[in-house]
């Protein structure tokens, strides 16, 4: 049996499967079946109040899951699907409450990855899929990251190579006016606005539709975090922070932005170069690309890699503040937030 046939047969029998998308790997289950979706929450250790994104194979399938497919949704889906844009719309009764954390809205996207699309077509049902990592840990941009986080808890990972975008989809709510970015991602606001819609970047104070569910729990400050303490420092201060931590006898990782990093190569850990990983008198250095799409593609691999060395602290240079970096800055800010 082919891997794809194996995956779709597991999904049809109510199990979960990890699969590649263009953003990060997802942990999928039949979105229309409550018991299947419950297995996602169990495998990830995800709290029930955090709703899931539903993945569809085309616009038609998305329309059939909502009660109010708006002209804005149509325009955005035509422009950006398949692609890294999740649209939050009013759900219809086909979607069990477990997917939406009891809320009346649902996030839907069509992933731009041949394996994800082939899997969706083979299953003939939509797949609810959060990122395929243990809750609160770094998202996976390779199959190896999925295995490192969920081995023994899921039956199968489809390996489609490193994800090309590298950070999770932009989440845009269309149930508010103007539309709101709930999570910045690969598609920035200015590009969305080219579809003729107005986009706000901040959260409204009240939940949409007046429901008492978290607006977008992915926006909770602690998320996507490595186990190692991560410090974000301005470009001018990062090297100094690294030196002073080394003087204190700490084992230090250093995510540095470098103009010399080659663009466009895969974000596999085998290719990513780390200087001095086991040498305590100098930092373990990862050079990150200067260009934001290349940086995003390598972000989680760099965090996974540095987190795998027994370091005490990772110092990361803050990326530029321009809007094109918003998704990356958002993930780094969360990774740098600790509860203690
Ligand atoms: O790129 C992605 O979006 C990846 C791949 C696998 O598609 N998926 C992903 O899922 O990042 P997850 O579960 O890690 O993040 C889903 C985000 C969370 O921030 C969640 O709160 C938000 O989407 N979300 C889901 N449904 C929502 C809803 N009805 N209203 C508001 N936010 C919602
Ligand atoms: Mg996630």
Neighbour count for residue 130 (Cβ, 10 Å): 23
User: What pLDDT is recorded for position 265?
Assistant: 47
User: What pLDDT is recorded for position 214?
Assistant: 44
Neighbour count for residue 223 (Cβ, 10 Å): 21
User: What pLDDT is recorded for position 282?
Assistant: 87
What's the chain's length in residues? 340
254 CA distance to ligand 1 centroid (A)?
A: 29
User: What pLDDT is recorded for position 216?
Assistant: 53
User: What pLDDT is recorded for position 340?
Assistant: 39
Ligand with the closest atom to the CA of 18: 1
User: What pLDDT is recorded for position 276?
Assistant: 62
Residue 258 has pLDDT above 60, yes or no: yes
Q: Which residues pair with 89 in a beta bridge?
A: 106
Return the percentage of the chain with pLDDT > 70, whole number. 86
Closest ligand 1 atom to residue 217 Cα is 21
Neighbour count for residue 215 (Cβ, 10 Å): 20
The residue whose CA has the least distance to atom 3 of ligand 1 is 169
| pLDDT-based confidence at residue 316 (cuts at 50, 70, 90) | very high
Neighbour count for residue 56 (Cβ, 10 Å): 24
User: What pLDDT is recorded for position 260?
Assistant: 67
Closest ligand 1 atom to residue 105 Cα is 29
The arithmetic mean of pLDDT across residues 144-160, rounded, is 97
> What one-character DSSP code corresponds to residue 195?
G
Single out the residue of 264, 258, 255, 260 nearest to residue 314, CA to CA. 255
167 CA distance to ligand 2 centroid (A)?
A: 10
6 CA distance to ligand 2 centroid (A)?
A: 25
pLDDT 10s digits, 271-311? 455 666 666 688 999 989 899 999 999 999 999 999 988 89
Residue 115 has pLDDT above 80, yes or no: yes
The arithmetic mean of pLDDT across residues 158-184, rounded, is 96
Q: Which residues pair with 179 in a beta bridge?
A: 199
For residue 13, the SS3 value is: coil
Mutate to test the pocket of ligand 1, among 86, 115, 154 (most ligand atoms within 8 A of CB): 86
Residue 21 has pLDDT above 90, yes or no: yes
276 CA distance to ligand 1 centroid (A)?
A: 36
Q: Which residues line ligand 1 (CB under 6 A)?
A: 21, 23-24, 26, 50-53, 84, 86, 88, 100, 103, 105-107, 111, 129-131, 168-169, 171, 182-183, 216-218
User: What pLDDT is recorded for position 201?
Assistant: 78
Mutate to test the pocket of ligand 1, among 216, 300, 328, 331 (most ligand atoms within 8 A of CB): 216
Residue 218 has pLDDT above 60, yes or no: no
Q: Which residues pair with 17 in a beta bridge?
A: 28
Return the percentage of the chain with pLDDT > 90, whole number. 78
User: What pLDDT is recorded for position 207?
Assistant: 34
Sign of the C-alpha dihedral computed for residues 231, 233, 237 and 238 taken in this order: positive
Neighbour count for residue 24 (Cβ, 10 Å): 27
Tell me how far apart the alpha carbons of residues 19 and 220 are, in angstroms, rounded to a whole number. 25
The arithmetic mean of pLDDT across residues 76-102, rounded, is 98
Overall pTM surpassing 0.85 (yes/no): yes
User: What pLDDT is recorded for position 226?
Assistant: 81
User: What pLDDT is recorded for position 181?
Assistant: 96
213, 101 Cβ separation under 8 angstroms: yes
175, 105 Cβ separation under 8 angstroms: yes
55 versus 338: the higher-pLDDT residue is: 55
User: What pLDDT is recorded for position 205?
Assistant: 37
Ligand with the closest atom to the CA of 120: 1
Residue 116 has pLDDT above 90, yes or no: yes
């Amino acid at each position: 049996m082919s891997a794809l046939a194996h995956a779709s047969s597991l999904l049809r029998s109510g199990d979960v499967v990890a699969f590649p998308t263009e953003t990060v790997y997802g942990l999928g289950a039949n979105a229309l079946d409550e018991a299947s979706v419950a297995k996602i929450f169990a495998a990830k250790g995800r709290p029930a109040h955090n709703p899931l994104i539903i993945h569809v194979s085309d616009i038609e399938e998305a329309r059939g899951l909502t009660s109010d497919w708006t002209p804005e949704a149509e325009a955005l889906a035509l422009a950006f699907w398949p692609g890294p844009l999740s649209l939050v719309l009013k759900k219809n009764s086909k979607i069990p409450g477990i997917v939406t954390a009891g809320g009346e809205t649902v996030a839907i996207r069509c992933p731009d990855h041949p394996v994800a699309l082939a899997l969706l077509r083979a299953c003939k049902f939509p797949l609810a899929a959060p990122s395929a990592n243990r809750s609160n840990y770094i998202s996976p941009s390779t199959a190896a990251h999925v295995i490192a986080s969920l081995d023994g808890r899921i039956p199968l990972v489809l390996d489609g190579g490193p994800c090309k975008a590298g950070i999770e989809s932009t989440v845009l709510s269309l149930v508010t006016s103007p539309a709101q970015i709930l999570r910045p991602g690969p598609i920035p606001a200015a590009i969305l606005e080219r579809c003729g819609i107005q986009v706000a970047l901040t959260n409204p104070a009240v939940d949409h539709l007046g429901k008492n569910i978290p607006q977008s729990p992915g926006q909770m400050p602690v998320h996507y975090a490595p186990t190692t303490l991560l410090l974000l420092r301005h470009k001018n201060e990062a090297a100094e922070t690294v030196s002073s931590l080394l003087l204190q006898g700490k084992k230090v990782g250093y995510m540095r932005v470098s103009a010399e990093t080659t663009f466009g190569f895969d974000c596999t850990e085998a290719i990513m170069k780390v200087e001095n990983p086991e040498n305590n008198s100098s930092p373990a250095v990862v050079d990150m690309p200067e260009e934001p799409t290349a940086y995003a593609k390598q972000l989680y691999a760099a965090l996974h890699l540095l987190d795998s060395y027994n370091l005490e602290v990772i110092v990361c240079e803050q990326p530029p503040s321009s809007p094109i970096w918003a998704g990356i800055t958002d993930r780094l800010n969360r990774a740098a937030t600790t509860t203690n």
